Amino acid sequence: MSASVSVAGCPQGGKQGPCQPAHHVSQETELPRPYPNEIPHNEKLLSLKYESLDYDNSENQLFLEEERRINHAAFRTVEIKRWVICAMIGILTGLVACFIDIVVENLAGLKYRVVKDNIDKFTEKGGLSFSLLLWAILNASVVMVGSVIVAFIEPVAAGSGIPQIKCYLNGVKIPHVVRLKTLVIKVCGVILSVVGGLAVGKEGPMIHSGAVIAAGISQGRSTSLKRDFKIFEYFRRDTEKRDFVSAGAAAGVSAAFGAPVGGVLFSLEEGASFWNQFLTWRIFFASMISTFTLNSVLSVYHGNAWDLSSPGLINFGRFDTEKMGYTIQEIPIFIFMGVVGGILGALFNALNYWLTMFRIRYIHRPCLQVIEAMLVAAVTAAVGFVMIYCSRDCQPIQGSSVAYPLQLFCADGEYNSMATAFFNTPEKSVVNLFHDPPGSYNPMTLGMFTLMYFFLACWTYGLTVSAGVFIPSLLIGAAWGRLFGISLSYLTKGSIWADPGKYALMGAAAQLGGIVRMTLSLTVIMMEATGNVTYGFPIMLVLMTAKIVGDYFVEGLYDMHIQLQSVPFLHWEAPVTSHSLTAREVMSTPVTCLRRIERVGTVVDILSDTSSNHNGFPVVESNPNTTQVGSGGCLCNSGAGSWLLLSQPVFVERANLSLVQRRLKLKDFRDAYPRFPPIQSIHVSQDERECMIDLSEFMNPSPYTVPQEASLPRVFKLFRALGLRHLVVVNNHNEVVGMVTRKDLARYRLGKEGLEELSLAQT
Amino acid sequence: MSASVSVAGCPQGGKQGPCQPAHHVSQETELPRPYPNEIPHNEKLLSLKYESLDYDNSENQLFLEEERRINHAAFRTVEIKRWVICAMIGILTGLVACFIDIVVENLAGLKYRVVKDNIDKFTEKGGLSFSLLLWAILNASVVMVGSVIVAFIEPVAAGSGIPQIKCYLNGVKIPHVVRLKTLVIKVCGVILSVVGGLAVGKEGPMIHSGAVIAAGISQGRSTSLKRDFKIFEYFRRDTEKRDFVSAGAAAGVSAAFGAPVGGVLFSLEEGASFWNQFLTWRIFFASMISTFTLNSVLSVYHGNAWDLSSPGLINFGRFDTEKMGYTIQEIPIFIFMGVVGGILGALFNALNYWLTMFRIRYIHRPCLQVIEAMLVAAVTAAVGFVMIYCSRDCQPIQGSSVAYPLQLFCADGEYNSMATAFFNTPEKSVVNLFHDPPGSYNPMTLGMFTLMYFFLACWTYGLTVSAGVFIPSLLIGAAWGRLFGISLSYLTKGSIWADPGKYALMGAAAQLGGIVRMTLSLTVIMMEATGNVTYGFPIMLVLMTAKIVGDYFVEGLYDMHIQLQSVPFLHWEAPVTSHSLTAREVMSTPVTCLRRIERVGTVVDILSDTSSNHNGFPVVESNPNTTQVGSGGCLCNSGAGSWLLLSQPVFVERANLSLVQRRLKLKDFRDAYPRFPPIQSIHVSQDERECMIDLSEFMNPSPYTVPQEASLPRVFKLFRALGLRHLVVVNNHNEVVGMVTRKDLARYRLGKEGLEELSLAQT
């Protein structure tokens, strides 16, 4: 009865007891790794233990029994609840976006006014270095606060959150990523970063914020606040929660860019494995509500209550087809801009990669991170100041739309054009570059600005502050795009190309596409943000070119960061050249198996064994009639989902009690979801260890399996399409021979020289 | 060795020989059927044998071997070919749309000018009945030609083709649906129907046209024309072809409405089971190219070469937010319009249902169908004429945008307002209703028009002509919507609601939503066609309301027609109350099994047996060691995909020869795809029958299986997510106990009183 016999695997060796957990056999044959010796295995990285979400856990007996009880009417109630939740997600996401927008606008306005007054004062009487100091100190102190809360309270709130949400939707649970605390830090952090004048945007973090809101609402409680509203208990499982998180992410995109369809496509592109019409429709609903809420509230706030002209945090302004149409001859030029964007994007990513490596190696202490953030803030202010100071590009203030015109050394009635770009929130700078009339900037200004901002933005991304890379990318692109347009107009003697704003738009698309490499969703987001369907075609071409060119050199920024963190991320398809690999070669083996009636001690020992490389354990049935061919156990069931639950002590304890009286209820699972206490935290007495436990209630009675001859793409497809966490590999006699986990699949990657195997963080 | 032993199923009884094919056991327990006794089992319906597409057949040994050989470079070539094909699909679809548009415009213009001249002539000297006669005869004769080609040459080209494409994308192969002949008839038919003045649109058929173009191009040959270009041979399998057909359908939507994103969403909503990022991106590419091609060509045709103002066959014209914005107070009103649209839509569908039943019973001879079409054409002209004749709604001709102003009895310089609606192509009437200034129509005109057109459109849908229902629905809705807007303005004394055009738009959305019940894609299509993102929110609310209200009464029009044809259509999810059903209850049993090495005679007999209810046969291996528990055969492999291929005589013949010398090549499958000759058409001699054939080459070595305890939703999810055609059900010992086919799953449906079982056409 003891867990000792472990010959070569479960079927061959397992007599009656469970087989021993063991490490991957297949990993011993190491394939070449990308970035050899470069991934630093310091404590911080390795301390991240990623768990997989399990979309298939709703099939354990307890859930199944509930599903069977559910009738038509109950289903309708559940369905209506889903819609209500989506509406709430939309409203709350919209309101959070409003909050961020209004606070940023006011605080940034205050800061710029103070600095402007100071500059105006010192311009006349000399001593502008005081202004520089004031600006730098203001920035640095605001950023310090923003960085401290992120670094010391919730490090997962750093950055845009898009890589984290991508991982979550892909099925990897990053600790703390959808907690309320993260949301609060994220929102405060992004406000402080933008107000602190960093080269960042507030749009990316909206996606993360929307996701957290969705996760919170759909569970009907906050574990951080220890409040349980006792509603929406039906949705306390991975698959439902994930669906709502996609809706939240979409609502975030929608609020950020006023792009409801773009939001839906973003969620689908990043998250959907199995397309479900009703789910998509709900996601769309949440997105629409979100942009509508933002629009209404901001319209009221701006005084013109009913005009609904602010669908997103950033609006590109109206691109009129009549005024700024494009012609077919321009399309090759746009494609060329895509190439430039791809190259610049790849450069950005490569620089950022080195920087990130440096940061992982040397700047992993929180206080160092805060100091770096302050340094960047101060340098940003200094660079801006010097650029403005040195610029001699004066423009008439008449009829321009500049918010904080800095006169500096310009004549009266004129303003410094460089200040439009540097002395402003990045969102406003982007819109100015799109829509300022021709001649508002001289080429020198644009060139210098592009160069400086490129390096600043690159340095800024990856700081321990909460901030996005969308807007800086757009800004860099808009600047060189406009420069490109002006040069083109100059070269062709201004024949047909009138408006540099059009080129600024294409440049912005090219640069953003070159950095993030999003495709379909980004096209639609840009299309919706410009409010012009006709621009869709050139934007699509530009983004596609930028992606192709960029991919030739280096990965997209988000994918790069995901890979740097060794997340077991599954792409859409198995690598094309992997058809020769079979499940047998990919799987983890031997597998720890359990029997339907098992000794509690054995179960506790297995669950406590952290060296086990999977969380699901096949429950096998030993058939007394077929022992002759060495098949000790034959797969009957795998308790994938429920075993995770059982791996938590509360349940082992209660499960023991069940032998006496109390039966474990579905409610117990739901109340504990998703933070199950670790098995080590409970004590199982020796008496209890000798009890027997019936696992049939917690297991999935009909797990998905694959034969061991199945090819890797086939296993991959099954895994991806069904959102699995474990897949049991069986032989011809239906005996368990191995287990495929997300990590086993994520290891294989198509590199430049064929199939590569990655090293991943512990699952 | 003879195929005789059939005790209770494959595993229990099958000793060595194959088990006998048999009919469904589970069908004997009949559940209540919807529309009891109403589905007419006449010859026409039963003659349709639907086949399932098989997206999983690419895993037989021959395909696998090729996949293994494929290297990185070859993969790139294939990928580039896919993009090239998508570009070609886009261009050709756009060109076909241009062709239809230009021909319709010219022919309809000619017709209306002739009739107008005639009316003008007879208005003065009396005898307008001659004009009526001329109009009716012109219409009827044009429609006759259109109906004759459809009824006698290619009946599958009738209607909009959307239900057929829905079925195809769902995985059901309707005979002839993607053939070149169908395309030609469809294009000519739709031109003739629209020119013939029927209450139809030319938009729906574009979706079908795009799909046919895609199917043709992707295969690199036309079997109708007997031309094989020897290109794109890699794509000659169901899964690849289906992907291209989705791209074609999207390109069709895109060309029809100038809605590239809407097209992508349409394809996904109808077709996608597993969301694939690259596929979606290609679909989007095809859509964009399609609308861009149409736009360029039509711009050139209309003389203003570069303005790109015709993105689709129908453009709703510009809805300016400034001029025609909506306010929050109007939203409840829009929702009410959604309710009205839902009710009217349900009425439309119910009437059309009865009409279709009548047609199936009594009008199934082609000549009767032609006569009915002519009758409808004549009646449409007559109704239009009488309405125009009786109308006294005269409007000043100055500044209006009417194409063929009929003066009739109006004063000089005025025109008959009813004629704007009736004496025009429906597309133009819709745009007029959206954009004509307030006061262009009096309420009486709109009311009468709505009433008449409603019944005409309802009568027209389902005629044996090639035509769509989109535009008539929009037209009906726009008419009552405008009427509603005018009444509202009148009731509130014209306080805030200025433009009835806005209400016409909402009415159009409500009516269309109430009839077709599309959701996400339709919102996006409408949004893109109006070119205004802000309208997205109310349009979404209206469509949602219309769908909810409509679904309460009766199904959507397309779904209704699909169900009337007893197509085994799989919806997105299994019925919610079906958790208590297991695979065992759903599956077909007993299953005909084959062994790896089988006698040719046995194979031929099994394939010739048309009473077999599935086309895939598990290949089992008998294990000599485990005979004791009555398990004669143990599942080894199921040749699902390849067996279909083998079920064709050419291959049986060649397979025989393979014992001598020649081996069957992948190329043989590809050359014959998709029209494999029937097994009956070849003769297998007695000697050949005694030969043995090795099936391992044609079978899928690792078929997907489910345990017999799996619940129906679980089986359904697997089936749907992976696009399966057969799914083998096994017991704990991995022995085949049954087979689940599409038909088995499609039978279960959620009716008003719980789970229902449908009767379906033979698969």
Residue B288: which of A70, A309, A536 has the nearest Cβ? A536
Kindly state the DSSP code that residue B705 receives in the 8-state scheme.
E
Residue A64: which of B67, B534, B579 has the nearest Cβ? B579
Is residue A203 within 8 Å of A470, Cβ to Cβ?
Answer: yes
The residue of chain B nearest to residue A330, with distances taken between CA atoms, is B306
In the prediction, which pLDDT does A52 show?
63
Give residues with Cβ within 8 angstroms of A653, minimum separation 6.
A682, A684
Residue A261: which of B261, B328, B579 has the nearest Cβ? B261
Task: Looking at the complex, report in whole angstroms how far the Cα of residue B689 sits from the nearest Cα belonging to chain A.
Answer: 30
The residue of chain A nearest to residue B321, with distances taken between CA atoms, is A307
Is residue B414 within 8 Å of B432, Cβ to Cβ?
Answer: no
In the prediction, which pLDDT does B204 show?
86
With contacts defined as CB-CB under 8 Å, which chain A residues touch B722?
Answer: 717-718, 721
CB contact under 8 A, A75 and B328: no
The residue of chain A nearest to residue B58, with distances taken between CA atoms, is A714
What value of ipTM does the predicted structure carry?
Answer: 0.84
Handedness of CA A166, A167, A168, A170 (dihedral sign): positive
CB contact under 8 A, B273 and A274: yes
CB contact under 8 A, A75 and B572: no
Beta partners for B700? B638
In the prediction, which pLDDT does A681 show?
60
| pTM of the predicted structure, to 2 decimals | 0.86
Task: Looking at the complex, report in whole angstroms how far the Cα of residue A750 sits from the nearest Cα belonging to chain B.
Answer: 9
What is the helix (H) or strand (E) element at residue B728, kind and residue range?
A: strand B726-730
In the prediction, which pLDDT does B388 show?
84
The angle subtended at Cα B651 by Cα B645 and Cα B656, nearest 5°, is 140
The per-residue pLDDT for range A507-561, each reduced to its tens digit, is: 999 999 999 988 888 988 988 888 777 788 889 899 999 999 999 999 899 988 8
User: Alpha helix (H) ranges present in A149-259?
Assistant: 162-170, 180-195, 204-219, 238-257
**Best residue of A299, A535, A734 to probe chain B, by most B CBs closer than 10 Å:** A734
Structure tokens at B557: 């029009």
C-alpha span between B456 and B463 (Å, rounded): 11
In the prediction, which pLDDT does A142 show?
94
In the prediction, which pLDDT does A8 show?
30
With contacts defined as CB-CB under 8 Å, which chain A residues touch B625?
Answer: 628-629
CB contact under 8 A, A533 and B534: no
Residue A519: which of B281, B309, B573 has the nearest Cβ? B281
Residue A577: which of B71, B274, B285 has the nearest Cβ? B71
Residue B534: which of A308, A519, A536 has the nearest Cβ? A308
The per-residue pLDDT for range B41-71, each reduced to its tens digit, is: 333 333 345 666 655 544 556 666 666 666 6
**Best residue of A72, A327, A496, A636 to probe chain B, by most B CBs closer than 10 Å:** A72
Beta partners for A727? A740
What is the helix (H) or strand (E) element at residue B638, kind and residue range?
A: strand B634-638
**Best residue of A316, A534, A730 to probe chain B, by most B CBs closer than 10 Å:** A534
The residue of chain A nearest to residue B268, with distances taken between CA atoms, is A275
Residue B261: which of A288, A524, A576 has the nearest Cβ? A524
C-alpha span between A43 and B67 (Å, rounded): 42
In the prediction, which pLDDT does B83 show?
92
Task: Looking at the complex, report in whole angstroms how far the Cα of residue B594 sits from the nearest Cα belonging to chain A.
Answer: 16
Residue B754: which of A72, A309, A733 has the nearest Cβ? A72
Between strands B736-741 and B726-730, the pairing is antiparallel
Task: Looking at the complex, report in whole angstroms how far the Cα of residue B673 sits from the nearest Cα belonging to chain A.
Answer: 23
Write down the residue that tokens 């990316």 correspond to: A204
- Length of chain B equals 763
Task: Looking at the complex, report in whole angstroms how far the Cα of residue A332 sits from the nearest Cα belonging to chain B.
Answer: 15
CB contact under 8 A, B524 and A308: no
CB contact under 8 A, B709 and A721: no
Structure tokens at B396: 């000043």
Task: Looking at the complex, report in whole angstroms how far the Cα of residue A596 sits from the nearest Cα belonging to chain B.
Answer: 14
With contacts defined as CB-CB under 8 Å, which chain B residues touch A58?
Answer: none
C-alpha span between A10 and A621 (Å, rounded): 12
Peptide bond before residue B674 is cis, with ω within 30 degrees of 0: yes
What contacts 24+ positions apart, CB below 8 Å, involve B304-307?
Answer: B306/A325, B306/A327, B306/A328, B307/A321, B307/A325
Residue B68: which of A284, A579, A733 has the nearest Cβ? A579
Cβ atoms within 10 Å, residue A637: 25
Cβ atoms within 10 Å, residue B541: 24
The residue of chain B nearest to residue A717, with distances taken between CA atoms, is B722
The per-residue pLDDT for range A59-74, each reduced to its tens digit, is: 556 666 666 676 677 7
User: Which amino acid is it at A216?
Assistant: G
Q: Among residues B51, B200, B29, B63, which one has the least CA distance to residue B615?
A: B51
In the prediction, which pLDDT does B759 show?
55
Cβ atoms within 10 Å, residue B226: 7
Residue A636: which of B524, B732, B754 has the nearest Cβ? B732
What is the separation of C-alpha A355 from the centre of its chain, rounded to a whole number of angstroms?
20
With contacts defined as CB-CB under 8 Å, which chain A residues touch B750?
Answer: 72
In the prediction, which pLDDT does B668 show?
61
Give the 3-state DSSP-derived string for A614-664, with helices as H, strands as E and coil as C: CCCCEEEECCHHHCCCCCCCEEEEECHHHHHHHCCHHHHHHHHHHHHCCCC
Task: Looking at the complex, report in whole angstroms how far the Cα of residue B343 sits from the nearest Cα belonging to chain A.
Answer: 21
Cβ atoms within 10 Å, residue A412: 6
With contacts defined as CB-CB under 8 Å, which chain A residues touch B259?
Answer: 533
Q: What angle, 0 to 180 degrees and rounded to 10, lies between the N-to-C axes of helices A331-362 and A500-516?
A: 40
C-alpha span between B513 and B338 (Å, rounded): 8
Low-confidence ranges of chain B (pLDDT < 50): 1-48, 57-58, 624-662, 761-763
Q: Among residues B74, B92, B61, which one has the least CA distance to residue B244?
A: B92
Structure tokens at A656: 């023991």
In the prediction, which pLDDT does A64 show?
66
Cβ atoms within 10 Å, residue B613: 19
With contacts defined as CB-CB under 8 Å, which chain A residues touch B273?
Answer: 274-275, 721
Is residue B593 within 8 Å of B730, Cβ to Cβ?
Answer: no
Question: What averages of pLDDT result for each successive group of 10 residues across chain A (763 residues)?
Answer: 31 36 34 37 41 56 66 79 93 95 92 86 80 90 93 88 87 83 93 91 90 88 72 75 90 92 87 72 92 88 73 76 70 92 95 92 88 93 87 74 72 78 83 82 87 92 90 93 88 68 91 90 88 82 92 90 81 74 80 74 71 66 42 36 38 44 56 61 68 69 78 81 77 78 74 57 44
With contacts defined as CB-CB under 8 Å, which chain B residues touch A306?
Answer: 325, 327-328
Structure tokens at B301: 């045709």
Kindly state the DSSP code that residue A738 receives in the 8-state scheme.
E
Mean pLDDT of chain A: 76
**Best residue of A257, A280, A571, A715 to probe chain B, by most B CBs closer than 10 Å:** A280
With contacts defined as CB-CB under 8 Å, which chain A residues touch B705?
Answer: 705
Between strands B754-757 and B748-751, the pairing is antiparallel
